[in-house]
Structure 1
Amino acid sequence: MHLTATERSKLLRVARMEPHLQFMCGPLLKFDTIESGHTWLGAALVVTADSGSIYEPHPKLSYEWDPDKLTPSTLRPHPADPHSTVLPGLPISATVSNGSAMVQEMPGPNARKEDAYGQDIFVYAGTGGTFTFWRFMIRIPLGDHEMEITYRINNGQAINFYVPGRRQNMRWAAHSCNGFSAGVNPDDFRGPGFQSGYDPLWFDLLGHHAETPYHALVGGGDQLYCDSLMREPEMQGWVSKMRPEEKKQHPLTEEIRICIDRFLFNHYCQAFRRGAFARANCSIPMVNMCDDHDPDDMQQAPVFRQIGARGYFFFLLFQCFINPEFDGLSDAPGKHVYKSLIIGKEGPYIPLPSHSFLVNMGPQTALLMLDCRAERRKDRICSSFEYDRVFQQLRLLPPTVEHLVVMVGIPIAYPRMVFLESALESKFNPLVALGRNGSLGLSGFVNKFNADAELLDDLNDHWTARSHKKERNWLIEQMQLIARTQRLRVSWLSGDVHCAAVGVLKTHKPNKKEPEVPIDIDHRYMINVVTSAIVNTPPPGGVLTMVNSLSTKTHKTLHYAETDECMMPLFGTDTDGSSRKQKYVMGKRNWCSIDWDRSNGNIHFTLQIEKKKGLGDTAPYPTFAPPPGWSRS
């Protein structure tokens, strides 16, 4: 096909928004739930610089689809891509790729288009000006089969995402730990052809999405690492205090308040618009939760309380598209913009209530994102009020639902390290004492905020830590009761620990000669799939060897409730095909693909494990949970 220069220019012209908006972040997509089995609910979010944007007419998101059209996956460019192109003057659906040329395809007779106008839910005012958060609410009636939805803001770059058919269960990808810890060099994880060490596994996930589209992107915690806040100039007076008591008494100055908000705003804008992750979060609707860590006495300090309060606020804003001051704090029917939201009580350190989500993922599947951060204390993870609200909503699940996946940031079925916990807590531990004094270069062995052992801080977070074990056992028993009475197969999904693993809970048989209860009729059979990290570095080899060794033990903690705990030996083969002795825990970067199998009702969890560091290629390690083989009681 011969084209003149003018025709080529029109054909390949970079998409421009009209009127223009200066994006600081986004577009980002959020999935809320499927309402009444037939309507997809979600939202989009953009952050714009007021000085570089035109708001007359009002910012508008246009989205369209054709229910009669079976479309292949086409991963469109991110708006930040300078080479993004679109045919000007044509409907979104009329622009398709055919080899190297763009050809016109007219929409079918049932094609639909809707407009959503932006809600300005928050304005951030900084030294660089003011910036508006625009939220666009999206409603899509589901069709007989999966549909491609194409959207653009102010007639700019077209981007697509996918929704399932009315009788289809969602395919989704889960991830956690989307960043590097302090002291890790990202370039160590950057293979040939990648711009940074953040990108390889995100490119792998996007490659799978291009082959078979995902309908949701589930973040299980640590979607953003904020360690670098401690390097901000205004924080140095507080950070440099050596003694914990000095930190607790340090005043929260207006300078520090401004610094915390500035850092969080800029850090989110940079991280959520960077590389392959930005391509994912604009083309696969997100469902996100916080990671959960124990508070300590330091969180009574005015500076730390402000960090926690603003960190949770910006998490709700950027990751859940919620501003409590705009949206309110009631989840009563018709009172909140999101149907999946379950609001708990305000915690002791964060001045906002917990925000959990119960998401309908299709006729047979549901996802519970349990907020284990907002109400957390050192001796309690969730309040009885939060549990009551969650269980109340679980009882309202449709009877067609057979699989309930419970997302908790930290694994609930995982090897114990009680002996290490005891050693690190001991005041006689010489390493802790030397670390507190800064002797022998061991200052990094202790937490810089409260001078406890750094590893102890992580161990105390675990559900199996002494301070949380009773609550954890009670929660497992409650979920077993829900599984039995509502005919639900409960599975757990977690992150945090920077390795891949699968824990197993099942009915305990005291007499070893008796056969085990078949898993399809065992309401206590629950797997805990652990997927971590999609970006961060794995633990050291010695730690992995220890955890694998501890994984061989069958725990008796829940024998009183007729329950055994063990780890699944999923990793007998390495990613290169060689055999492995350490079969229980895999210390390589990973993410997880989840899909419901129409042929047998199983829900499949496939851990995609990085083959070689930084190369962006993974090997699959599948496991599954069967549908419930018992009747409702």
Structure 2
Amino acid sequence: MDGQLDKHQDPSGVVGVGQGPQVISTSSGLDVILGPLLNYRRTSNQQTGQPIWHGSVLIVATPGQQSPHLVLSPAGAVDPNVANARFTADSRSFHGEKLYEDTDKAFWRFLLEVPFQQFESRWRYDIEGLVYVDRKAAEKPQIFAIPSISQSMRIMFHSCNGFSVGTDVDAWSGPALWNDVLRMHEQRPFHVMIGGGDQIYNDGVRVDGPLKPWTAIHNPHHRREYPFGEQMRADCDEYYFKNYVRWYGQKPFSTANSQIPQVNIWDDHDIIDGFGSYTDHFMQCPVFRGIGGVAHKYYLLFQHHLAPPKSTFTTDAPKTTDVAPLKTTPADPVQLEKTFVMTDDVGDPSYLIGHKPGPYVEERSRSIYCQLGARIAFAGIDARTERTRHEINYPETYKMLFDRLDKEFSANKDLKHLILLLGVPIAYPRLIWLENILQSPLIAPIKFLNKRFGWAGGFFNQFDGKVDLLDDLDDHYTARQHKTERRELVQMLQNFSKKFSARVTILGGDVHLAAIGRFYSNPKLAIPAEQDWRYIPNIVSSAITNKPPPQAVANLLARRNKIHHLDHDTDETLLEIFDRDPQLPGSANDANPAANGVTHTPTNVTLGGTKVEKKTSDKNHATMPSRNYAIICESTAPPSATLSAPGPAPGQAPSLHTNGDAASTLSAPPGKKDNPRHPIHVGEQGAGTQHPAANGLQSTGLCGPYGLDVTLRVEVSNQDREGKTDGYGFSIPALSVSEGLRDQGTKW
């Protein structure tokens, strides 16, 4: 190990580097600081043909513990009406593997393998001897659900799970929407929880953390040259760790973490606001390189249950400062004093590891491919590790992703859908006009006054002195400098979709509001959505916790919802899905509106005696500035998985348009004069609160056995600590590209 550091084996049988704190716990129980956290990894098939669910459980304990044990047991069928629910597996015990240990904490991981059953099943896990160090009651045993062999997973998607600096957390009722997630999970369980980035907000490190003195330096040159020494590294390490413990240990989020398996990709706030999108000479400064390494360490541990690199960047260790091309950060012996790091962690086949390190986080990107049940594939692109102001991902990373997709879909003809996570929306209104204003000479006098006198301080960021909004705009795929990369990515997705007759759906967060974007074939081509490989919806769900932008911003974005042309054959725009503001059931059209203490008028809501302001203008049906999350599942589910939903009855399924083919049912393609902001296929007809998918519990059957139902669960009032939501639904058709249409290309 760099010729200096010897490997050793800890009592759990894991090979690592560093000796650890050399303390032995005298506690009679397993003293746990945080956890359990549950992750999903992938599905594999044994030679017997029985698929296996692979996942992991993580706990953070005090140092010096012996290897803990976890017992996994069958807990019955999800549907109590399933007769003869005989499991093909008995209880099993799993040993913990130590990923990391220092004088304050130890990370233990349990790798789980669970055989899929012929029915949707529940599984119980119990960590023996678990006692929390603060002596709070342990929620155990924990239970999670996995689909049957024939089911695809029921998916929950979220992003922006934290608060920006300066937000009045109490006024926004904390992470209240996780209460609604747990209510929905109890009625019909989620099999996986996809985190689209910003699972935690670490921005406070520059406000009340160890970067506060550095942030206070006014001279940008001095700030760029400021060292990131060992003491600052250790202080930042402690800050990031404690922030994770505080946030991931907070109910109801912590309850969801232990019961719904997670799959996560990070974004800037998992590091610090705007990381990767500032100017290159500033991103190369020691402090940014340092916090990038520290954030990456805890991102791997908490969000992926993986061993971190042996050490991270510090200017006090010359070996970590001069990173050769294609090399990651070398080990620093000082950081390994009284520290143990697993070194034989083989990772997991679900990860797609970048070919070379990122420019600022000097580690390789970590994208994900896995299968979500019987017919849905998932890919998540790590769009932060390789990001610069001018590039989101390396070309080699895109090639690696599409090579993997080609391999998986060629080998498994049952796969009908690809869900792609990008983090930041890609089918979204263009904001180049705003970039032009913020970069114009008109801003120069204001910038001068800010630099000399601090005037308009909130308008400029504290890092490089540029307009604060610019780093957010530079993050967008629709930014000027990302235009070519964006177009080429969408075209690669279209080619993949066409080749395999696989529908692609994109997930995006980041923007703190809800919307549904879509790419689709130019109406002149007259291709029905069910056969249109260019029809790619972009589900924009953000934020589940952070406060939304002001109503005026959402309305402005809606007014910018133009019909754009990606290329000669592809158009794009947002679907007008928001038929009204969110409201609670049982009031607007109910004979007894006061039964639950809620009353409505066309312009406001009263919740528990508190008036809830209107969220959007009467003309805005495309963007919703209210906290939200999304639910995605197949539009035709096994009968045992379909439940009667509480609340208002969903709308009736719209009638189908046919093109005379008795073997298939197709929507009438949009005409050249139709408004594509309105529905363009049967699954979008009636999109909104009256759509059959709106309640998030029932399967609509609208788009056939391989289509998807999508629900946006939107918060009614941020003053409601129970986090009650209203639902907006639409459905996505499966894709069937005929050989004739595939050969003809753009003609149908």
Return the TM-score normalized by structure 1. Answer: 0.84
Write the letter of the residue equivalent to 1:566. Answer: T
1:31 partnered with 2:40: yes
1:596 is matched with: 634
- Residue ranges of structure 2 left out of the alignment (5+ in a row): 1-25, 131-139, 269-273, 311-326, 329-343, 589-601, 604-617, 637-700, 743-748
Structural mapping, 1:176-575, within 5 Å: 176-190=159-173, 197-198=174-175, 200-232=176-208, 234-291=210-267, 293=274, 294-296=277-279, 297-325=281-309, 336-344=346-354, 345-397=356-408, 398-429=412-443, 432-433=446-447, 436-437=450-451, 439=453, 441-510=455-524, 516-551=526-561, 553-556=562-565, 558-560=566-568, 562-575=569-582
Deviation at 1:50, TM superposition (A): 1.8
Q: Tell me whether 218-227 or 395-404 shows the greater mean CA deviation.
A: 395-404
- Residue ranges of structure 1 left out of the alignment (5+ in a row): 1-16, 74-106, 191-196
Asked whether the equivalents of residues 41 and 139 of structure 1 are also in contact (C-alpha less than 8 Å), the reply is: yes
Asked whether the equivalents of residues 505 and 564 of structure 1 are also in contact (C-alpha less than 8 Å), the reply is: yes
Asked whether the equivalents of residues 177 and 724 of structure 2 are also in contact (C-alpha less than 8 Å), the reply is: yes
For 1:392, what is the secondary structure of its paired residue? helix
1:5 is matched with: none
For 2:480, what is the secondary structure of its paired residue? coil
2:56 is matched with: 43
1:166 partnered with 2:144: no
Write the letter of the residue equivalent to 1:307. Answer: I
Distance 1:166 1:613 in 2: 39
Distance 2:87 2:626 in 1: 49
Deviation at 1:446, TM superposition (A): 0.5
Give deviations 1:316-367, integer Å, cap 9, x for gaps.
11101112548x99xxxx9933221110131111111000001100121011
Deviation at 1:277, TM superposition (A): 0.3
Asked whether the equivalents of residues 606 and 623 of structure 1 are also in contact (C-alpha less than 8 Å), the reply is: yes
Asked whether the equivalents of residues 29 and 129 of structure 2 are also in contact (C-alpha less than 8 Å), the reply is: no
Deviation at 1:110, TM superposition (A): 5.7
1:10 is matched with: none
Deviation at 1:540, TM superposition (A): 1.3
Write the letter of the residue equivalent to 2:576. Answer: P
For 2:442, what is the secondary structure of its paired residue? coil
Asked whether the equivalents of residues 61 and 115 of structure 1 are also in contact (C-alpha less than 8 Å), the reply is: yes
Match of 1:149 among 102, 105, 123: 123
Deviation at 1:436, TM superposition (A): 3.0
**Once superposed, which parts of structure 1, at least 4 consecutive aligned residues long, lie more than 6 Å away?**
none
Distance 2:213 2:532 in 1: 57
Distance 2:478 2:453 in 1: 32
Distance 2:471 2:446 in 1: 12
Distance 1:42 1:70 in 2: 19
For 2:347, what is the secondary structure of its paired residue? coil
1:606 is matched with: 711
Match of 1:626 among 726, 733, 745: 733
Gap change, CA 1:619 and 1:378, over 3 Å in 2: same
RMSD across aligned positions (CA)? 2.4
1:584 is matched with: 622
Deviation at 1:437, TM superposition (A): 2.5
Q: Tell me whether 283-292 or 521-530 shows the greater mean CA deviation.
A: 283-292
Give deviations 1:182-226, integer Å, cap 9, x for gaps.
111011112xxxxxx22x200000000000000111100100001
Deviation at 1:239, TM superposition (A): 1.5
Distance 2:159 2:346 in 1: 27
For 1:26, what is the secondary structure of its paired residue? strand
Gap change, CA 1:140 and 1:631, over 3 Å in 2: farther
Deviation at 1:45, TM superposition (A): 0.4
Give deviations 1:146-193, integer Å, cap 9, x for gaps.
111100111553110111111110001110111110111011112xxx
Give deviations 1:558-616, integer Å, cap 9, x for gaps.
233x1001110001221136484200000000000111122412111100000122321
- Percentage of matched positions with identical amino acids: 32
Asked whether the equivalents of residues 24 and 49 of structure 1 are also in contact (C-alpha less than 8 Å), the reply is: yes
Return the TM-score normalized by structure 2. Answer: 0.71
1:3 is matched with: none
Write the letter of the residue equivalent to 2:375. Answer: Q
Deviation at 1:33, TM superposition (A): 1.1
